[in-house]
Chains A and B, each alone.
Chain A
């Protein structure tokens, strides 16, 4: 398996521009997580999808951030407009998780290599 794939690996943009980060989860996984990592705040969960549906977006910092998962094999995180304080490494992770009401599964999250975003 190729693991979680993220693109681009590096992105440099100017303040005010739109940024789109992409993620392809591991085939067969039903949950996808977007994280942001900075020196000051550490690793923060931004949003969590299960079966393509957003379950928890309480970590999304503000309306400038949006995430979609149109199908089981693709997700995007968009920042519009971008600001210098958005500079960070953004990770996507996937897992196979069962929610209440069905078979309860708990598995580890597999992380992608990350996208290093620099907003000038």
Chain B
């Protein structure tokens, strides 16, 4: 069965510093990969997705992610964080099996705290 691992439960970063959130997946084929963000009291919002093609994907709010097949990773990055980036971030992989096509397997999430 496929799985998604976000190794960091909690990250604290200074405003203006760079941010990288890690995501590893286990799946034989090229998966469909997603990053979502959840602000306090809100639903999940899509930041970016990877289906195929260029392995560096640009998303909203200045985020990007790079798919690395050799490392089974899909890490999220932002060069300079803003206080408004404080939120929880979820990596997800889309199921490719016939009986569960369309389902997303979510990681446990990484809580990002931004300090002044």
Contact = CB atoms under 8 A, between A and B. Distances in A.
A48 B98 CA distance: 14
Given A42-B109, A56-B99, A91 B43 contact: yes
B70 interface: no
Contacts of B45: 111
Interface string A19-40: 0000000000001010000000
Contacts of A75: none
A109 B104 contact: yes
Interface residues of A, number: 26
A100 interface: yes
A25 B99 CA distance: 22
A98 B108 CA distance: 27
Interface in B65-116: 90, 94, 98-104, 106, 108-109
A95 interface: yes
Contacts of B101: 97-100, 104, 106
A73 B90 CA distance: 27
A106 B49 CA distance: 11
A52 to B, nearest CB: 14
A113 interface: yes
A106 B51 contact: yes
Listed residue (B32, B42, B94) with the most chain A CB atoms within 10 angstroms of its CB: B94
The 5 closest A-B pairs by CB, nearest first: A97-B102, A111-B43, A111-B44, A100-B98, A108-B46
Interface of B: 32, 34, 36, 42-46, 49, 51, 90, 94, 98-104, 106, 108-109
9 contacts: A42-B108, A43-B90, A56-B99, A97-B101, A98-B101, A109-B46, A111-B36, A111-B44, A113-B42
